[in-house]
Structure 1
Amino acid sequence: MSWFLIRTYTILVYVFMFAPVAVVMLLSFNANQFGSFPMEGFSFRWFVELWHNDAVMRAFRTSLILGSLTAVISTTLGVLASLAMVRYNFPSKNFMATVLIAPILVPEVVLAVALLLFLQFLGIHKSFLLLLLGHVIFTLPFVVLVVQARLYAVRREYEEAALSLGANALQTFFAVTLPLIAPAVFAGMLFAFTISFDDITGTLFWKPGGVETVPTQIFAMLRNSISPEINALGTVMILITVVLPVSGIALVRKLSRNPGR
């Protein structure tokens, strides 16, 4: 009986959490311009309106560029940092590990305000570069954690065998290490892109005037009026931030069938 109550309570909690999301997605296909129930018909009208909305399209381009740059930079730095933390010993290693992970331990609002105040103290004003820097700082720990976990599972003997056969450290990395940790690298890149694409808290503090990402565009549209276009835009965001990671996880599992242990 107790397990039945626990399962029932769990189901009710999930319904409470995800029912609003389902309602938003359902109303995005409503032909009624007021976006209310009962629905007057099934229509892709609001998605077409989004396609012709210049502000939304600019926000999408900005989010895609920002997310892609964040993913590439965070993944590159995360792989290098993970290699240093796992494969080498150096002074203050534990301190550096704490510094790398700290951004996910600090509330994002605190991190956003601290970075903004620090750069203003240095005389650096808001810009796209500041926005990119903030996203890299926030997403880097996720890449480090994922890649580090994979590196610990890769036996050192593979790299030592390549080195003993005449390969240098760089050749060993690209020929042996990188293929073995590729699933984790890909997963970390997906994490970085998705988190950057979906971020709003830090973006509101770091973005310069006139630059909008998709989440901040939704926020701006909600302040003006409740338009059915917001439901359509929300649906697109949900699909991107859910389908992309799930597809990535499936691909990573496929690539990890031969773990190279």
Structure 2
Amino acid sequence: MRKPTGFTWITLWTIFVYLFMFLPIGVVVLLSFNASQFGSFPMTGFSLQWFGELATNDAIIRAFQTSALLGILTAIISTTIGVLASLAMVRYDFPGKTTISTLLIAPILVPEVVLAVALLLFLQLMNVPKSFPLLLMGHVIFTLPFVVLVVQARLIGVRRDYEEAAMSLGASPIQTFFRVTLPLIMPAVMAGALFAFTISFDDITGTLFWKPGGVETVPTQIFAMLRNSISPEINALGTVMIVLTVGLPLLGLAVMRQVSARQGAQAGAPA
């Protein structure tokens, strides 16, 4: 009998780590279909009633509406600022470029709880009350670096020759951006928007510090429900969150691959 090699131990350890990370998620999904009202093992049967309960829970519906609105607005603002910032960072040289680039990426380097407390203390110092715009601003600050990094990586690979050719044929800089540059970086723009939406929709740390009273997002609603008891509705709501936060990026990846493949086919087609 052969002794286990180093590669075998690495494989076993990797499997253990993945089980440790994802098995609790699988348990939540499994228990969301449990017919028992206690939401725990042993399961007494298969049921979809807890998903139906979600649809009739006004607090959860309001939380979904708030999270969706917040995520969409965050994605729009972060993507718009991120694309313009990336274009400036990649295509132009100006004083303070390195400093601005560092400031754009800094929120990723700072722990979210530190960023949340710092922003909250600063706004309290300025006598600015908690509000939905404050919550939106916090989410934009936190998601903007992800958009910038993704778009910059794509923009670096776009040759300047295409833009110069368009402008030499009479296109203005704005026309060149919308007709040449933007279509070429569209997969990265879509990826950045999906990142921003997913991160905003799933965020709880910053939201707990920034949200005004009476406003709940889906993660904070789950947190509030957990204070009372662990009910099957929480498992069902967690399953919906998992499907959204995993399914949206996968769907976006599939769409981006189709767009990239179409662009490659058009670029390789004979004139």
Residue in structure 2 matching 1:38, options 28, 42, 65? 42
Q: Distance in 2 between matches of 1:165 and 1:131?
A: 45
Equivalent residue in structure 2 for 1:251, among 248, 255, 271: 255
* 1:190-220 deviation per Cα after TM superposition (whole angstroms, max 9, x unaligned): 0000000000000000000000000000000
- Following superposition of structure 1 onto structure 2, how do residues 68-79 of structure 1 map, counting pairs within 5 Å? 68-79=72-83
Does residue 210 of structure 2 align to residue 229 of structure 1? no
Deviation at 1:224, TM superposition (A): 1.1
For residues 1-40 of structure 1, what are the structure 2 equivalents within 5 Å? 1-40=5-44
Structure 1 residue runs of 5 or longer lacking an equivalent are: none
Q: Distance in 1 between matches of 2:93 and 2:104?
A: 16
CA drift at 1:120:
1.1
SS of the aligned residue for 1:90 comes to coil
% identity of equivalent residues: 74
1:171 equivalent in structure 2: 175
Partners of 1:109 and 1:256 in 2: CA distance: 37
Q: Deviations over 1:225-260 (max 9, x none)?
A: 111100000000000000111111121122122356
CA distance in 1 between partners of 2:144 and 2:100 (Å): 13
Deviation at 1:180, TM superposition (A): 0.3
Q: Quick one: which amino acid aligns to residue 174 of structure 2? A: L
Q: 2:144 aligns with which of 140, 148, 168?
A: 140
Give the CA deviation at 1:122. Answer: 1.1
190-199 or 242-251, which deviates more: 242-251
Corresponding letter in the other structure for 1:92: G
Kindly provide the CA deviation profile for residues 162-213 of structure 1, in whole angstroms up to 9, marking residues without a partner as x. Answer: 1000010000000000000000000000000000000000000000000000
2:56 maps to 52
1:190 corresponding residue in structure 2: 194
Q: Which amino acid aligns with 1:162?
A: A
Q: Which residue of 2 aligns with 1:157?
A: 161
Structure 1 residue 91: deviation in Å? 0.2
Partner Cα separation in structure 1 for residue 180 and residue 45 of structure 2: 56
1:86 matched to which residue of 2? 90
- Please report the TM-score for the alignment, with normalisation by the length of structure 2: 0.95
What is the TM-score with the length of structure 1 in the denominator? 0.98
Deviations, residues 4-50 of structure 1 (Å, cap 9, x unaligned) = 11101100110111111000000000000011222111110000001
Instruction: Give unpaired runs (5+ residues) of structure 2.
Output: none
Amino acid at match of 1:101: I
Aligned length: 261
Aligned to 2:123: 119
For 1:214 and 1:237, the matched residues in 2 are separated by 8
Rounded Cα–Cα distance in structure 1 between residues aligned with 2:128 and 2:80: 25
Which position in structure 2 is the counterpart of 1:215?
219
Amino acid at match of 2:129: H
Matching of residues 93-112 of structure 1 within 5 Å: 93-112=97-116
> Could you tell me how far apart the structure 2 residues matched to 1:202 and 1:122 are?
19
Q: Report the CA distance between 1:96 and its aligned residue.
A: 0.2
How far does residue 118 in structure 1 lie from its aligned partner after superposition?
0.8
Aligned-pair RMSD on alpha carbons? 1.0
- CA distance in structure 1 between the aligned counterparts of 2:239 and 2:84, rounded to whole angstroms: 36
